Amino acid sequence: MKRFTSIVSAAFAVVIAAAYTIAIPVQPVSAQSSAALSIAPKKNYVIEPGKSVKDKLTIRNLDNSSPLQLTLRVVDFTFTDDGGTPKLFLAEDAPQTTWSLKPFMTVPKSVTIPKNGSKTLDMSVAIPAGHGAGSYYSAIIYSTGAPDGGNVGLAASGVTLVFTNIPGKVNEDLKLEKFGAYREATANNPASYLFLTTDEPQKIAYTLKNSGNVTEAPAGSITLNGWFGSPITINNVNPNGSLALIGQSRTYTACIKLKDAEVDFNGQKTKSTACDSPGLFPGYYSAKLDLFYGQNGNRTQEIIGSAGFWYLPWWFIILVIVVLAILAFVIWRVYGWVRVKLYGPQYKKRSSRRR
């Protein structure tokens, strides 16, 4: 009996040790913005070669005490990580990127906005005739002072990202790198893809590598199947139409179950959505990803992926160990009873003397 108890204790220790090695770490995502400035965060255009688009930039000063003097400048940007945080090239001598929209954009150089007021400025994007198809993008920086230069994250007074697609035959190449249950970054842990977890996962994620010459906004669905219950379908895996930039590995996340939430923004209540507990049963889950992407005028392409993960909460692990221990004890007692019945009481006496 002592030997049996030691075996059960050792098995319990192995399960505890394995539960702490459950994730593949990736980098966390963060962003910043100004509290005194209200602008459009993004502009999207489709412009044929030889044509142009004229648009408006509406800028609002949220400061009730003083006017806002802004300098406007167009800079290139790339990505800082696998999320949506851009990295701006602020240096005056920064090399022009291959996807730069700077040569084709015209914006005012400065503007003064009265306190708690707004102004609307003219801007334009003109694509020269004969220009090749693809995606081009740059950023408009609204700053209260001259930048110091260097490559920094999104921390200026304000930024509008401007994207332009030039139609035609393009090189589209989006490949799936990772897919599975996902845990967002916290103060103590980086973001992680999960294979074994003791905490109920609330998100499924996928990472795509864009090796083409156009930005891509994938769309599609994810189907989750477990040992118990009905399949769970996530119908919109990119609800914001987030883009995978040229050369970027972009991670997209989707809630397994959504709930309505109320957000307080500048004193106003707005409705939003957040992840809710999906109520998963313990066990193994398989996930299937079905994505589509493609620019207008080009062939729609499909990406199919599959993944799996174990959800084993601590209460379930302890329950399984207790049940196995009881089952092993019962089998051991039944085995001894059967031996006694087969070989007689003398077998029981011999077993007692050996112990």
Residue 75: pLDDT over 90: yes
The mean pLDDT of 30-58, rounded to a whole number, is 82
Judge contact between 207 and 249, C-beta under 8 A.
Answer: yes
Strand partners, 110: 71
Decide: helix, strand or coil at residue 22.
Answer: coil
Burial class (CB in 10 A: 0-12, 13-18, 19+), 275: middle
Residue 314, pLDDT score? 96
Residue 329 is predicted with a pLDDT of: 94
Phi-psi region of 175 (alpha: psi -120 to 50; beta: other; left: phi over 0): beta
Q: HSE-up of 274 (CA within 13 Å, CB side)?
A: 9
Confidence (pLDDT) at 350: 58
pLDDT-derived band at 15 (thresholds 50, 70, 90) equals: very low
Answer whether residue 21 shows pLDDT above 60: no
- How buried is 131 (Cβ within 10 angstroms: 0-12 exposed, 13-18 middle, 19+ buried)? middle
Q: What is the mean pLDDT of the chain?
A: 83
The Cα–Cα gap between 76 and 89 comes to 6
pLDDT at 325: 96
Segment 178-235, tens digit of pLDDT: 999 999 988 888 999 999 999 999 999 999 999 999 999 999 999 999 998 899 999 9
Percent of the chain's residues with pLDDT above 90: 58
Coil, strand or helix at 341: helix
